[in-house]
Amino acid sequence: MSKLRVHLTFPEDKILEPVVYEVGQKYKVVTNIRRADVREKTGWMELELSGESSEIEGAVAYLKTRQVKVDPVEKNVIE
């Protein structure tokens, strides 16, 4: 099982949408919110994704199609 930690930045029009829930439904990944700050017009989240590498890659690609900015967090392997 692989793990990847990413920093997500949400555009204003996506803040109220259940994007993280959708990722967990569409891909065989476990989502773990490590940190987040969501306000009325801005939002970011540090999200840990666990699962098979191909499922994680699909989840990240899906987030990007939803106009969520995805940046890797420096330390991606969690021990």
CATH number at residue 10: 3.30.70.260
15 pLDDT higher than 60: yes
- The predicted structure's pLDDT at residue 44: 96
Tell me, yes or no, whether 67 lies in a domain: yes
Position 79 in a domain? no
Residue 76 has pLDDT above 60, yes or no: no
Confidence of residue 40 (pLDDT cuts 50, 70, 90): confident
Q: 45, 10 in Cβ contact below 8 A?
A: yes
Query: What is the residue range of 66's domain?
Result: 2-72
| Model confidence, pTM | 0.86
Residue 60 or 77, more confident? 60
What is the total count of domains within the chain? Answer: 1
Residue pair 48/56 in contact (Cβ under 8 Å)? The answer is no
